[in-house]
Structure 1
Amino acid sequence: MDRYELRREDYSLSEDQTDLLSAYQKFFKANCSIESVRAAEATGFDKGLWERLCATGATSMALPESVGGDGATMVDLALVAEEIGRSLAPVPWIDHVCAARLLARLGALGPDDGAIVSGEQIVGLDPRQVDAGGRRLVPCGSIADHIVVRDGDDVVRLTFDTRPPHVDNIGRLPMAWVDPAAADAATVLASGPQALAAYQLALDEWRLLTAAALAGLVEETMTIAAEFAKTRYTLGVPIATLQGISHPLANMAIVVQGGRALARRAAWYLDNEPDARPELGPSAFVFMAEESSKAATMAVHIQGGLGVSAEAAATAYLVRARGWPLAGGDPGATAVRIAHIVAARESA
């Protein structure tokens, strides 16, 4: 038996990970109410929440100790991402940590980049699967101090003296059109196959953490719908007792557990055996991209007229469930990538 044989089938959390999850549950519950989420919708960013989040070490934890980080595992990061999704936190944490990890991987995060490690400066990336050249929509483009993009065979860091203007979007993200040709400074960080492989790994991490966030989002959506169903009566009984309500709620619970398990499994493999199951992270993303929208839509339906009102929390979760996965382009492109990975392994 090798040292990983049992762990490959056991994705239970360690005591430290359980404490980490509990700490961030309490943090977002105390600092990110649905009212504050609504207040930040115009820009997609809550600067005060971001500063408080960074003060907890949420940005430095994601980086290796060699660059001033804390060396957290991908499983640890997935736990934080889950709580970000649960609270709809308007902060660019997933984009920032994936881009910062990419900079560290390329040796482009030096002693002078402590502001990136601490989160004082925000760094983002273009999470699309392919490089189409020219302008591209970047999820945190309107607030990032640095943006890492793929330009042909090069990985380039862009800096703008004036940030690109915010573009309204259904995910309520601080999204902007970014044109590498218009950047005030463009630094080629690395070139060639190894550089592109490092960038692809950052994209896989982005999708994995987004999948974890969507699992948290669906669980909170389910909670909102379930609480309503337990207190709303028809014909003298709670509507939660009706099959047309109870069965969809059970399906939502299955989505939460399935998506969470898949994301944590993918995170464990990415930490320990990255070449063994590279399709797991993209698979978690494709699964949650489809199922989160269905689950959030059902939550709105369960609440009826209240659910479709603009001020309802369920509506806020629905638009995020539909918008967040699209920040990385068409999820179908990720499904194609999964097919290529599996086909190449089977043919080999």
Structure 2
Amino acid sequence: MDRYELRRQDYSLSEDQTELQAVYAKFFKARCPIDTVRAAEATGFDKSLWEQLCATGATAMALPESAGGDGAGLVELALVAEELGRAIAPVPWIEHSTAARLLARLDALPGENSGDIAAGRRIVALDPNPAPRPGPRLIPAGAVADEIVLRDGDEIVRLAFESRPTRVENIGRLPMAWVDPAGAGVRSALASGPDAVAEYGRALDEWRVLTAAALIGLLDETLRIAAEFATTRHTLGVPIGSLQGISHPLADIAVVVHGGRNLARRAAWFQEYEPQAQPELPAAAFVFVTGEAPKAATMAVQTQGGLGVSAESAASAYLVRARGWSLAGGDPAVAAREIAEIVARRSTAPTAVPA
């Protein structure tokens, strides 16, 4: 039997993984209440929360031990991302982690800044757009990053600016900024050629998996908020949650959460251990969750009626991020086309004939 045959279908967590997720659930619950999220909306970034998160080792865990990290796998990172999404935490941990891991794979971390990147004192960002065009591009963490890693043709480059790009308003409340590769104060080539492009593609897939996991956490919390309201608000003497018009759509959200969580964890496992076995999984998890998250979050808001759409409502804060985070890496339809291309190549590949 293949040593991984059962694991491919088993979504249960180990005791260590369960404890890891519980630790970060407790951290974000204590350090990132909705008031903290609201206070950071003008910038999309809470420096104090970021420093506290880095102090837990969340940035170091993403890196291999050879690069001064703890060598955590993508499944473990997905668990942290889920709790980050549950709290809609205003920190660029997903972008930093995926960019730092890419730098490590390209042997571009050694140097005076390697320790600062591992500790999160120096923030690196990744351009998650799978189809970049020449000229300025929107980077989700571009307004707070000290370094930005992106693809320029068949070359992977690192950019630094004398002053950080100006944040632009966006529905996801991210520290997003327009970044012009030609206007960088410092531009250094890290690698080029097919292997470098493939490594960048791997970083994009990791970003997709972690973003999908974060959106699952976001939806899970949105469902909790809506269900709590539905069980405490009454009409005609009964909780509104007992009405099919409320209970059935909420059940649909629960199905999305559980199915999306399994898909994201499956994608994380394959991406970590057998990336060539099912290369479409990261894009599939991303496309599924980004397609369902805005619809599910909208239903959760509608459950609360007029209260749900008020500026003070926590549900409304989750709704705008469900929409904005889903588009932070560009049009998810690009990822959908990638899935189609992978499946098409597989279906047309010649089948080996036994001798």
Q: Using structure 1 for the length normalisation, give the TM-score.
A: 0.99
Pair 1:196-2:197 in alignment: yes
Residue 343 of structure 1 aligns with which residue?
Answer: 344
The code of the aligned residue for 1:162 comes to S
Residue 161 of structure 1 aligns with which residue?
Answer: 162
Pair 1:126-2:127 in alignment: yes
The code of the aligned residue for 2:267 comes to A
Residue 101 of structure 2 aligns with which residue?
Answer: 101
The code of the aligned residue for 1:39 comes to A
The code of the aligned residue for 2:152 comes to D
Residue 55 of structure 1 aligns with which residue?
Answer: 55
- Counterpart CA distance in 1 for 2:348 and 2:326 is 30
Pair 1:46-2:42 in alignment: no
* Alpha carbons 1:157, 1:186 under 8 Å: kept: yes
SS of the counterpart of 1:170? Answer: coil
- Counterpart CA distance in 1 for 2:286 and 2:132 is 20
Matches within 5 A, 1:129-278: 129-278=130-279
Give, in angstroms, the shift of residue 131 of structure 1: 2.4
Give, in angstroms, the shift of residue 342 of structure 1: 1.1
The code of the aligned residue for 2:348 comes to S
- Counterpart CA distance in 1 for 2:2 and 2:239 is 52
Residue 312 of structure 1 aligns with which residue?
Answer: 313
The code of the aligned residue for 2:205 comes to D
* Alpha carbons 1:86, 1:213 under 8 Å: kept: yes
The code of the aligned residue for 1:3 comes to R
Residue 7 of structure 2 aligns with which residue?
Answer: 7
* Alpha carbons 1:67, 1:111 under 8 Å: kept: no
SS of the counterpart of 2:12? Answer: coil
Compared CA separation, residues 71 and 64, structure 1 to 2 (3 A): same
Matches within 5 A, 1:320-335: 320-335=321-336
Q: Using structure 2 for the length normalisation, give the TM-score.
A: 0.97
Give, in angstroms, the shift of residue 325 of structure 1: 1.4
SS of the counterpart of 1:148? Answer: strand
SS of the counterpart of 2:327? Answer: helix
- Counterpart CA distance in 2 for 1:7 and 1:39 is 42
Q: Deviations over 1:2-57 (max 9, x none)?
A: 11111111121000000000000000000000010000000000000000000000
The code of the aligned residue for 1:28 comes to F
The code of the aligned residue for 1:234 comes to T
- Counterpart CA distance in 2 for 1:110 and 1:11 is 36
* Alpha carbons 1:68, 1:117 under 8 Å: kept: yes
Residue 293 of structure 2 aligns with which residue?
Answer: 292
The code of the aligned residue for 2:232 comes to T
Deviating 4+ runs (over 6 angstroms): none
Residue 85 of structure 1 aligns with which residue?
Answer: 85
- Counterpart CA distance in 1 for 2:233 and 2:250 is 15
SS of the counterpart of 2:217? Answer: helix
Residue 301 of structure 1 aligns with which residue?
Answer: 302
Residues paired across the two proteins, number? 348
* Alpha carbons 1:157, 1:189 under 8 Å: kept: yes
- Counterpart CA distance in 2 for 1:109 and 1:133 is 26
SS of the counterpart of 1:177? Answer: strand
Residue 31 of structure 1 aligns with which residue?
Answer: 31
Pair 1:117-2:137 in alignment: no
- Counterpart CA distance in 1 for 2:345 and 2:3 is 27
The code of the aligned residue for 1:335 comes to A
Give, in angstroms, the shift of residue 76 of structure 1: 0.0
- Counterpart CA distance in 2 for 1:55 and 1:227 is 33
Give, in angstroms, the shift of residue 92 of structure 1: 0.1
- Aligned residues: CA RMSD: 0.6
Give, in angstroms, the shift of residue 233 of structure 1: 0.3
Q: Deviations over 1:90-120 (max 9, x none)?
A: 0000000000000001110114211001100
The code of the aligned residue for 1:93 comes to W
The code of the aligned residue for 1:203 comes to L
SS of the counterpart of 2:5? Answer: coil
Give, in angstroms, the shift of residue 272 of structure 1: 1.2
Q: Flag structure 2 segments of 5+ consecutive residues without an equivalent.
A: 350-355
